[in-house]
Amino acid sequence: MEFALSSSSPSLSLSRNSIPSNSCNRLFRPTSSSSNFAQSKLFSLKKPLISRQNCSIKAQSSTNGAINASEDQNDDFILEDVPHLTDFLTDLPSYPNPLKKSQAYAIVKRTFVSSEDAVAQKIVVQKDSPRGLHFRRAGPREKAQEVRSCVVTCGGLCPGINTVIREIVCGLNNMYGVDEVLGIQGGYRGFYSKNTIQLTPKSVNDIHKRGGTFLQTSRGGHDTNKIVDNIQDRGINQVYIIGGDGTQKGAAAIYKEVEKRGLKVAVAGIPKTIDNDIAVIDKSFGFDTAVEEAQRAINAAHVEVESVQNGIGIVKLMGRYSGFIAMHATLASRDVDCCLIPESPFYLEGQGGLFEFVEERLKENGHMVIVLAEGAGQEYVAQTLHADDKKDASGNRLLLDVGLWLTQKIKDHFTNIRKMDVNMKYIDPTYMIRAIPSNASDNIYCTLLAQSAVHGAMAGYTGFTVGPVNSRHAYIPISRVTETQNIVKLTDRMWARLLASTNQPSFLSCEVVQERVNKQIFDDIHNMKITST
């Protein structure tokens, strides 16, 4: 295929006569799979800043944190932009997006997302408050590129990983005609240990029906220089990285090294954590499936304890630093008497403590169910067992089994101190939940994530992660989703709904609750001031 220089534009354009009428879906198939493919022509799509009448934009670069503000009377619209390959490769050619002639997208009223579309981080605002922070809306752009892609999965398992893999491969092939997609096996180590497989729509056709990851995974093993060397040697120019907080930090490091070397490589992250603790985005994939599957364990515990006298069931769920799964599973179940999460400290003995509440509930109902996030009460377990603060290969703190610890504590208290016979039932379904295939809701969500990532990489954005912000998919700088973790806010209505549903104590004094409310108000005001300036 020949490419003609446009005399009216510094970028390259396709000669109309050089495009066969039946080749619109194959324009972006790589012409070579050799190691120097990365030097082939890629697209160049300048990223225009969003312009609005009577407002200005601060386009915040995620690479250096600088803010470029245009002067205007209403300086209150902030676009936190993601990097683009043209930031460091200014003369890249552009190609027409084949979706323009796609039968599937022919029915869409507006095929391509406008460069002026943005997604607001906050949708509840006051009349005179600043418009606040925005992200670029995800979706297909009018220009795309020649591609040789790779996909890698890292970290722990989560329902939906295989669906994301499948939809990246199928999206690249069906929408953009990309045939060269490599699967990197075994996490980041797979880049430099040469563990790769060729991915085709046929080879990934039914993997969404299985749990786990088709590509296998691992923790750690991130050597930025080796990884980028391998990307360069293989001629890869799109990297799709599926993983959690540590994995996304690795993706950011890969992007920075790619930019440093001036390589024509787009790096796209797809955030993964079953705990739902990724910042900015509404929800992480696999979360709905985890909450749904947790219901089975809670129901089993409830059946067990109501069938015996003084039955106490403890169900341990995922939640290293945040208790979203425990909270949502509790609200959905209606059979839970008490929910314990990392964000809400609890104590065992004394007035208002857990032992007192358990005894009251046993006298009232004859049984009770406790849902426990794995990260809750870790400080108590560590003190009891005199454990060291060890970490896994991803840098995560190794957790002690708080479920077994709490089961023994409750049993000892009621048997030895209260002289009551209790029937303890402990259920730990965590690995069973992680290993199942995603449900219908998560399958749809994973499809949207994968396709949004593909559209973003094809449009030349890089160093970004994708996810829904206020129900609209957006491109988010990787640094924004790794700088902090999403946690349950004890001053929000959702936690209040849980306390009302279970009628459990908050385990916090009024002074502590008021202190947290005041801190939340202060943080909100502080963030508003930052946004307005």
Binding residues for substrate: 273-275, 318-320, 374, 431-434
What distance in Å separates the CA atoms of residue 463 and residue 352, rounded to the nearest whole number? 49
Q: Are 338 and 283 in contact (CB under 8 A)?
A: no
SS (H, E, C) 142-174: CEECCCCEEEEECCCCCCCHHHHHHHHHHHHHH
Kindly state the tokens that stand for 304. 């067990």
Specify the residue for token string 């406790």: 370
Kindly name the residue from 81, 275, 335, 442 that is annotated as catalytic: 275
- Does the annotation mark 288 as catalytic? no
Annotated binding site for Mg(2+): 245
The 3-state DSSP class for residue 470 equals coil
Q: Are 92 and 43 in contact (CB under 8 A)?
A: yes
Planar angle of CA 251, 253, 254, nearest 5 degrees: 65
The 3-state DSSP class for residue 188 equals coil
What distance in Å separates the CA atoms of residue 131 and residue 79, rounded to the nearest whole number? 10
Annotated binding site for ATP: 156, 219-220, 244-247
What distance in Å separates the CA atoms of residue 497 and residue 230, rounded to the nearest whole number? 51
Which DSSP symbol is given to 391? B
Burial 255-290 (b: 16+ CB within 10 A, else e): bbbbbeeebbbbbbbbbbbbbbbbbbbbbbbbbbbb
What distance in Å separates the CA atoms of residue 200 and residue 212, rounded to the nearest whole number? 19
Angle, helix 402-412 to helix 378-385, in steps of 10 degrees: 70
Annotated binding site: 156, 219-220, 244-247, 273-275, 318-320, 374, 431-434
The secondary structure element, H or E, covering residue 181 is strand 181-184
Kindly state the tokens that stand for 406. 């709490």
What distance in Å separates the CA atoms of residue 463 and residue 91, rounded to the nearest whole number? 19
How large is the C-alpha radius of gyration of the chain? 26
Q: Are 507 and 339 in contact (CB under 8 A)?
A: no
Which residues, in sequence order, are CB contacts of 37 under 8 Å at separation 6+?
Answer: 30, 148, 235, 236, 237
What distance in Å separates the CA atoms of residue 487 and residue 321, rounded to the nearest whole number? 7
User: Active-site positions?
Assistant: 275
